[in-house]
Amino acid sequence: MKFESGVLDRARLFSNFLLILLVAGNIFFSIQYITNLQQQNNAQTDNTVTRIQASKLLKLFIDVVLNTEGKTISYADRVALENDVVQMNDSDITKKWDTFVASADAKSAQSNAVTLMKALTNKLLLN
């Protein structure tokens, strides 16, 4: 029996090409999958950091500002609050903080404090 080597060579060439194509596809999709997982982990880490910062600021705000009972807030506490606001790096929180600090009277300060606390709790829940 004589085999035609041209037919077998073509079939072997096609199967080798198909095998290389499938391996390359697996490598490509594996890299895409790993990259996607890393991006999801980074997003979760960012959300966790934002939640921790928001909860830290909210706790300090409650402990220092809301528990003053008419006393003045110390300079160190003001600096700590301001640093926490800056560390959040959130323009909405910063605007609400600036509005609260610039309050003219107790009634507007109370209203602005509620607005700030709502924004902080939203950061805790929605991120």
Residue spans per domain, the chain: 5-126
Q: Which residue did the predictor score with more confidence, 84 or 66?
A: 84
- Tell me the pLDDT of the chain averaged across its residues: 88
pLDDT at 1 over 80: no
Of 65, 119, 42, 109, nearest to 88 by C-alpha is 119
Q: Mean per-residue pLDDT for 86-108?
A: 91
pTM: 0.69
Confidence band (pLDDT; 50, 70, 90) for 83?
very high
Q: Say what the pLDDT of residue 7 is.
A: 61
Please report, rounded to a whole number, the percentage of residues in the chain having pLDDT higher than 70: 93
Confidence band (pLDDT; 50, 70, 90) for 30?
very high
Report the top-level CATH class of 5-126.
mainly alpha
Per-residue b/e over 72-108, b at no fewer than 16 CB within 10 Å? Answer: eeeeebeebbeebbeebebeebeebbebbeeeeeeee
